[in-house]
Chain A
Amino acid sequence: MDESRGRTTLSRRDVLLRLWTWGTGLAVIDPRIARAVDSAKTVLKPTRKAQARSVIQIWLSGGPSHLDTFDPKPNAGSDYCGPLNKPISTNVAGIQIGELLPLLAQQADKYSIVRSMTHGVNAHETASYLVQTGHNPGEGLVYPCLGAVVTLFRGYDHGYQGLVPPYIALTTPLGRFSEAGFLGEQYAPFATGGDPNQKRFTVEGIVSEGLTDRRSHGRRELVRSLDTFGKTMSDNPYFRRVDECERKADETVAKAAKLFDLSQETNETRERYGRNTFGQSCLAARRLVEYGVPYVIINSPGWDTHKQHFQIMRQKLPQLDQGLANLLSDLAARGLLSSTIVWCCGEFGRTPKIDWQPPWNGGRGHFGHCFSALVAGGGFAGGHVIGATDARGEEVAQRPVYPQDLLGSIIRLLGVDPSGILPNDRGLSVQVMPAKEGGRGRLDEIM
C-alpha cells in the first residue's frame, strides 16, 4: 500500500461523503477535497479505439499438461509422452499440437500459443491467484482477477447497459478466493449455476424451475400486498434501492432468459459444440459476447490429473477440442473474433516426466516452471508460437512470459493502459497490471 498517498488524498467516495456531511453542517470543510475532485477527473478510462470489447476466458482448473496439449515433445521418449507421442500438424506450417486436438489443429491460424508461460509456483491456490490476478499473495492487498478489472473498465461504469451482468461465470465461481479482490462485490462474477447441457439451463435467479406463469404472477402480487412494513416508509433510501434492484431484476428476467436459452440454437449447432457441459458452455459464451457481455469465464474443473492421467486426457481433451474449436470458428464466421479475446490456460502445467510408480500409476504432478496458454482474437494475431521450452518441456528455453505480462497484454488490447492507476474507492495507488520486473514485457510480437 502506498501509505503517503493514503495520508494526503481522498477517495472519490470520501469526497462525496464529506460534501454530503458538509452540506448538513456537520463537518468542517477539508482543503483536500478540491484536490481530490480534480484528480477524480483524470481517472483512467478505456480508449474508444480499442480493438477488443469482450473477453472469454477458458479456465482449465487444476492445471492441464502442456505436453499433451499445446507443447508436444514426441522426441522426449515414452517416460515423457506416454501413449500420446504422435502430435499432429495444424493448418499453419511448422506448428504442431497434441494428437487429441484435431479440430483445434484446423483453427491454428486463429490463435497463437504461448509455450513459455512460467511462474514457478506449484500450489494450486497460489498459482491460480497469480495467473488470474498477476500478483503474488502476501503483497498486503487482495488483488482483483482480470475479469473484475475488465468489468471495472468495460462494465456499467463505462457504458455497458446490458440486462445480464457484465461478468459471467459458467457455471460456478472459482471458489478459492474472491474474484473481485479489493474492488468489491459489484465487480464479482455472476455465476449461472445449473448445467447448459440439460434440457433447460436453469440459470440461478433468471430461469427458475417448474412454476407456471400464473403461479409466479400470483406470488408476486401476493408479495406486493403483504409488504406492509415497506409501505410504511416508501421513501427510505434503503428501500428505494431494494425496489430499484427488483425492477432491474425483473427486466433481466424478462429479457435475459432468452439469452441463456440454448434451445434457440439449432440442434446441429448444439451437436457441433459437443453435448457436454463444457461444449454447451462455449456455445452459451458465444451467445453472451454476441449480446455484448464484456467478460465470460468458463470454469472447467478436473485437470488435476495425478492419477489416471491419460484416461482422463482421452476423455477431456476431445471435449475441449470440440468446444473451443467451434467457439473460435463461430466467432470468426460472425465477425466477432476481431473484437473478442479468447484465452485459455490453467494455473500451471504438469510434470513432463510421467510418474509410473504407485499410487500414481502413470500420472503427472503440478508444474509451475512452464506451461502453455492459448490466446486468440481481439487484436492478438493468430498462427504464431511465442517462446519455447527445452527438449523435454521442463524449462523455458526462450522468451519467458509471466502471468502479469499476458494479463497486461489483454488489458492493453481492451484499450486500457496496464501501467495506469487502477481506480478504486480505497484511495490506493496501485497499477492496473504492472509489467513483470526483469521480464520481457507484453506480447508485442502478436499485438
Chain B
Amino acid sequence: MASRQGRARLGGPGSHSRSRSIEVLVLIAALSIFPLANAYARSPIGGLFETERERIPGNAIDSFVEPRLRACGLEPAPLCSDEVFVRRVHLDVIGTLPLPKEVRRFLADRRTDKRAALVDELLKRDEFADYWSLKWCDLLRVKSEFPGNLWPNAVQAYHRWVHDAIRENWPYDRFARELLTSSGSNFRVAPVNFYRAIQSRQPSSIAEAVALSFMGTRIAKWPEAQRLGMASFFTRVVYKSTSEWKEEIVELDPAATLPLKAVFPDGSTVKISPDQDPRRVFADWLVAPQNPWFARNVVNRVWSWLLGHGIIHEPDDIRPDNPPVLPELLSFLEKELVNARYDLVHVYRLILNSRTYQQSSIVRSEHPAAESLFARYPVRQLDAEVLIDAICGITGVGEDYWSSTPEPFTFIPESQRTITLADGSITSSFLEMFGRPARDTGLESERRNQPTEAQRLHLLNSTHIQRKIARSERLRRLVQTGRRKAPELIRLIYLGVLSRNPTEDEMTAVESYCRSCGLNPLQIGQDLVWALFNTKEFLCKH
C-alpha cells in the first residue's frame, strides 16, 4: 500500500528548493487573484464557512429531505463554503486532510461543477480503499486478538481481501456472498475469516454476526423461533486445525447426511439437501433484489457514515418499531443501489453531490430534530486514526506501532499511515483514548468519537504531541529556508492544518503573538501549529 507520509503538507516538497519557490509563487499568485481573507473580514463570520451562492444543482435526495424539513418548520442550512467543502469531503471520503496545494487548486478552480469533479477524483483515490477498509474491518471485527483469536497472518489476509474488494469496487452483493459462502484455510481463503472473527462459534452467534453485518439488525431482539430458524443455516460450519501453526480450515461438515430444515428471517422455510451448502441457500435469499434488509442496511449505513445519523438510527438496529425518519429517501437509495448493480460508489456519489450533504454545519438555533432530519451537516469529532494521521502528516513525524504479542511479532514502519493498519488490536494509548473501537462486537456504537478529559489533556499537554511538533523537520524547513515573510508562513501553516487561509482577525492575532512572545520564528511556527491542533475546527469534521 502506498504511503502518503512522504507527501509534503506544510506547503512544499521541501527537499527541492526550486519546486518550493514555485509553490510559493503560485501561492502568492493565488492569493492575489482570490483575496479571500479580505472578503471574509467584511462579511459576518458565516462567510468563511458558508456561501450564499447556490452553485450546486443538488439532486433527488434533496427533494426528499427539504420538504420534510419545511413541514417541521426547519430551514435547510446554507451551502458550505468551498474551503469547508474541500476539507470535509477529503475527510469523509478518504479519511485524509487535503494537502495545501490541493486546497489551493480547488479554491482557484472556477468551473461550476468543481465539487462534483472533486468527488469523482476522491472516489478513485487509493486512500478511499484504505479508509473504507478501516470502516469495514471495524464491522467485520478484524483484529488478531483478544479475546477473539484471528491471529496476525489471518488478519493481514482478511484486511488485504477487504481492501482489494473496495479498491476494485466489487458489487456489494459479491462482497457479501463471498464472505458468507467461502470455505478453506484462514491464511489462503481470506473471507473464511468472517466465520472466525466471532466471539463464539455457535450457530446462533454466527447468525447474530450475519444479521448484524448484512441486515443491520440485532437478532437478540427477535422471537426465539426466528433466531433458531436462521441459526440452522450455519449448523454445518466446522473448524479444523492443520499442521501449520495457527492455520485453521473453515468448511462444511463433510459427515452431514440428513436434509436440513431452516427458516429464513422473513418466515419462509426451506429444506436443504446434504449436497447443498446451506450458507449458499441463505446468501441467495439475502442478496436478492427484493430482500427487505440487504440493500436497506448498507445504504442506510453509508448515509449515516457520511451524514452522522442514520435514516434509521442506530444504523445497525433495524427493526419494525424503529422506523426510518425519511422512508421514501431510504427506498430511493435502495433502488439506486439495486439498479446500479450493487455499486456502492454510486450511492456515495449520489449522497456527496446532494445539497443536503453540502450544507453548512453552523446552526443559529439548536432545534432538537435538526440533526435527525438532516437540517445541516453535523459537527463530528475525527476518527482516532484520522486524527493521528492528520497530526503525523502535518508534522511529518509518524507513529511507531508494534506488538510483541501474539507471535509472530508485528512491527509497522513509521511511514505507514494509521488508517491502513490491518490489526485492530495493535496497542496504542492514543487510539484507545480517542475512541477506536475494540472490534469485539461489530456494533457501530463501539467507535466513540466523543470528547473526554483525557483527550484534552493529551492534546494540550502530552509529550507525544509536543515531540511531534518539536521534531518536525518539515516545519523547520518551512520556517528556515527561503525568505518567506511572516504572513506567508502563517498562511502556509493555516493551509496545512485547517485547509484554509487565515482571516484578517486571525492574522492580526498571530502577528501580535509574534511581536509579543519573544520567541524565534521556528518556535512561533511550533506554537501556531500547536494552537491550531487545539482548535475545535481541527478536531472535527464540519
Residues of A within 8 A of B (CB): 1, 3, 6-7, 20, 23-24, 26, 30, 124-126, 129, 137-142, 165, 172-173, 175-178, 181-182, 184-186, 188, 190-191, 193-194, 202, 204-209, 211, 215, 218-223, 225-233, 235-239, 241-242, 245-246, 248-249, 252-253
Contact = CB atoms under 8 A, between A and B. Distances in A.
Interface in B501-527: 503, 505-506, 509-510, 513, 516-517, 519, 523, 527
Q: Which 3 A-B pairs have the closest CB atoms?
A: A137-B147, A205-B457, A229-B537
B466 A209 contact: yes
B135 interface: no
B168 interface: no
24 contacts: A20-B368, A125-B149, A137-B146, A138-B147, A175-B403, A182-B440, A185-B448, A204-B461, A206-B461, A207-B461, A208-B463, A218-B527, A222-B513, A222-B528, A225-B509, A226-B506, A227-B537, A228-B48, A229-B535, A233-B363, A236-B363, A242-B539, A246-B456, A248-B453
Nearest to B365: A235
Given A229-B49, A245-B456, 16 more contacts: A3-B220, A7-B222, A24-B368, A175-B427, A184-B448, A204-B464, A205-B458, A206-B457, A207-B461, A209-B463, A227-B535, A232-B45, A236-B366, A238-B540, A246-B456, A249-B456
A253 B45 contact: no
Determine which residue in B441, B458, B460, B539 has the highest number of CB atoms from chain A within 10 A of its CB, and name it.
Answer: B460
Interface of B: 45-46, 48-49, 145-149, 199-201, 205, 218, 220-224, 227, 321, 325, 362-364, 366, 368-369, 372, 379-381, 403, 405-406, 425, 427, 429, 432-433, 435, 438, 440-441, 448, 450-458, 460-464, 466-467, 503, 505-506, 509-510, 513, 516-517, 519, 523, 527-528, 530-532, 534-537, 539-540, 542
A177 B363 CA distance: 40
Given A137-B146, A206-B457, A229 B368 contact: no
A427 B205 CA distance: 18
B537 A228 contact: yes
Determine which residue in B205, B220, B432, B457 has the highest number of CB atoms from chain A within 10 A of its CB, and name it.
Answer: B457
B444 to A, nearest CB: 13
Contacts of A220: 460
Nearest to A211: B466
A124 B49 contact: no
A249 B531 CA distance: 16
A306 B77 CA distance: 65
Determine which residue in A219, A227, A232, A239 has the highest number of CB atoms from chain B within 10 A of its CB, and name it.
Answer: A232
Nearest to A172: B429
Given A125-B405, A129-B147, A204-B458, A242 B463 contact: no
A222 B460 contact: no
B513 A178 contact: no
B462 A208 contact: yes
A226 B531 contact: yes
Contacts of B540: 238
A306 to B, nearest CB: 13
B535 A26 contact: no
A436 to B, nearest CB: 18
Contact of A24 (B369, B432, B451): B369
A238 B537 CA distance: 12
Contacts of A175: 403, 405, 427
Contact of B200 (A140, A173, A248): A140
B454 A239 contact: no
B289 to A, nearest CB: 30
B432 A185 contact: yes
A230 B537 CA distance: 7
Contacts of A215: 517, 519, 523, 527
Given A26-B372, A138-B147, A238 B535 contact: no
A1 B523 CA distance: 55
Contacts of A232: 45-46, 49, 362
A205 B531 contact: no
Contacts of B462: 193, 204-205, 208
A137 B148 contact: yes
A246 B461 CA distance: 11
Given A205-B454, A236-B379, A226 B146 contact: no
A266 to B, nearest CB: 27
Contacts of A191: 429
